[in-house]
Copies of this chain bind each other. A is one copy, B any other.
Amino acid sequence: MDLIALSTFTSPVILFFLLGLLAATLRSELAIPEAMAKGMSLYLMAAIGLKGGVAVAESGIDAGIAFALLAGIVTSLLMPLLAYIALRQFARLDQINAGAVAAHYGSVSVVTFVTANEVLGVMAMPPAGYMVAVLAVMETPAILTGLLLARKGQARAGHDRGELWREVFLNASVVLLLGSFAIGAIAGPKGFAEVKPLFDSGFKGVLCLFLLDMGLIAARRLLDARSLTWRLAVLAIAFPLVNGTIGVIIGTAIGLDPGSAAAFGILCASASYIAVPAAMRLALPQADPGIYLSMSLSLTFPFNILVGISLFAALANSLAGS
């Protein structure tokens, strides 16, 4: 564990994230052009999708995949309930904001998964390729639960349905992740070889620059955060700990290998800050982005990158060991 944590903190990937946090805290003007940041996130999703697909093409499909996908959808649907109760009771958040935040914690963070993938690889416990598909299917179900919670007992403003469903089920990241996953599975190792230099060799370097940007954005949000109470801050750390632990246990229970179980834990522990916020602006515009983004992006995301990943990896190992 110590060794792991250590190696984590000397990895350029993590160090660039810390640099971003530091630079923003010092109020430096350093900024990554938005088009570049967006481009890098598309690249990361395409690359992780391809790799996952290729891995599946190599390993072939087994029952494990079905279990993992099912577990992913169910947890994504149910986890918001847990979060919702805590947000209402402990943080005394109103129904709408509680529902919005809950949706974020039921969903997942692509970059957290990508980073975990790298770290777990270094720790010789790489997750199974199909975990990328699990990542994709976990992104949206939580949005439905969150909306139901936020609107229960209210007449829902139905007129923007179409927009919302498109945003939810065809949102860019889901389409790109599943699409490149399929491409990887079809092209297989031979087909992947031709594009490997870009999508494999360049991967970690791009991740460095992307995490630099994430560090900058996360810290800036926190500095400008107005609506963040200490109770919310506490939950932003408690959620990943609890959800992550539950995730690792479920993962191990359904028979995933330690690496995949750890990855599943990370997925449960992570909170969305791309797909869900966009959906919330459409469906719950009254909810305050100052709350859900500060929590998911400025607190939970750094916590998972810096602590969560190593933590759940260790947990998965010990569970597997026992």
Contact = CB atoms under 8 A, between A and B. Distances in A.
Nearest to A195: B205
A50 to B, nearest CB: 7
B170 A29 contact: yes
Interface stretch (A12-20, A79-87, A229-237): A12-20
Q: How many chain copies?
A: 3
For the residues of A in contact with B, the DSSP-based class is helix
Contacts of A208: 46, 195, 198
Contact of A198 (B23, B26, B31, B206): B206
A204 B209 contact: no
A166 interface: yes
Interface in A161-207: 166-167, 170-172, 175-176, 179-180, 182-184, 186-188, 191-192, 194-199, 201-202, 204-206
Interface residues of A, number: 57
A225 interface: no
23 contacts: A10-B186, A10-B187, A10-B188, A11-B194, A12-B50, A12-B191, A12-B195, A15-B182, A15-B187, A16-B46, A16-B180, A19-B180, A23-B170, A27-B166, A28-B172, A29-B171, A30-B176, A32-B39, A33-B38, A197-B205, A198-B205, A198-B208, A199-B205
Interface of A: 10-13, 15-16, 19, 22-23, 26-36, 38-39, 42-43, 46, 50, 166-167, 170-172, 175-176, 179-180, 182-184, 186-188, 191-192, 194-199, 201-202, 204-206, 208-209, 212
